[in-house]
Amino acid sequence: MSIFSGLMANLTKDHIVAKQGFNRWLIAPAAVAIHLCIGSVYAWSIFNPPLIKQLGVVTSAADDWSFSSVVWIFSTAIVFLGLAAAFAGKWLEEVGPRATGFLAACLWGGGFLIGSIGISTHQLWLIYLGYGAIGGCGLGLAYVTP
């Protein structure tokens, strides 16, 4: 059995009941980590000034992003968070919380990665896609994970 198939087997709904002797206190740090990630989207306003000045080192450059173009990234993330949370409930019941949480982490981390590529290449649409759409879906899935 490969590592990937072993990982996927542990994410199935059959494995959500803990075995005898499992330390349930291990769940608390995981839940805190999930909710810290979910709450990070609400700190978006901290990123606005650095994103606006991303290419202007000392002074503004001609191709800097405007405040109005950057501030909508937060709204995009919140919209996708809500849509993913609304539609993921039924899917969560089918596949279980482990698979949902794993996909949420992959989407959230992948969204941040794509957004960071957008920042480094100065492509605003990549930030909307990565942080806004993909990352927002990851946060929405994390919301419904118990």
Cut 0.75: pTM above it? yes
pLDDT at residue 61, rounded to an integer: 58
Distance CA(139)–CA(133), nearest Å, equals: 10
SS3 121: coil
Structure confidence by residue, pLDDT tens digits, 74-105:
999 999 999 999 999 888 988 888 889 899 99
